[in-house]
Amino acid sequence: MENCIFCKIIRGEIPSKKVYEDEHLLVIEDVSPQAPLHLLLVPKKHFVNCLDMTAEEDALVGYIFRKAGEIASKDVYAQSGFRIVQNNGSGAGQSVFHIHFHLLAGRNLVWPPG
Ligand code: DGP
């Protein structure tokens, strides 16, 4: 998508702090971290949010969760626990309309979330 900020990051048109990249997925540091570890797992294919996905993406979503676990297992902040968050729609806090999964750790993550 031409004007999507995450598509621009994926294309290398906007700089980011990359943690992991492969043909399906980009993992970057969040520009406005809400915890000592705050990464964004961003699929390279553009989807607005989970309402935009079909059964074709089932494997991709499973892959993203497995990668999130792999990354968390190597991070010191995530040793005592971590959270994966995905916001759908502005009322839920979505501000970038290219699906992404927040990986948060390193502070007390309260429940229920705000
Ligand atoms: P959400 O509110 O769930 O749509 O999350 C969007 C996140 O994206 C938010 O935590 C801030 C982050 N973000 C926005 N613009 C940029 C950017 O240009 N670079 C990076 N690394 N993160 C961004």
Q: Whose CA is nearest to atom 23 of ligand 1?
A: 31
Candidate from 31, 42, 52, 83 with most ligand 1 atoms within 8 A of CB, to mutate: 31
Indicate if the pLDDT at residue 114 is higher than 90: no
6-55-58-37 Cα dihedral, nearest 10 degrees: 30
The chain-wide mean pLDDT, for the chain, equals: 97
Each residue of 58-93: pLDDT tens digit? Answer: 999 999 999 999 999 999 999 999 999 999 999 999
Indicate if the pLDDT at residue 56 is higher than 90: yes
Token representation of residue 51: 């309402």
Catalytic annotation on 100?
yes
85: how many CB neighbours lie within 10 A of its CB?
15
Ligand 1 mean position, distance from CA 94 (Å): 9
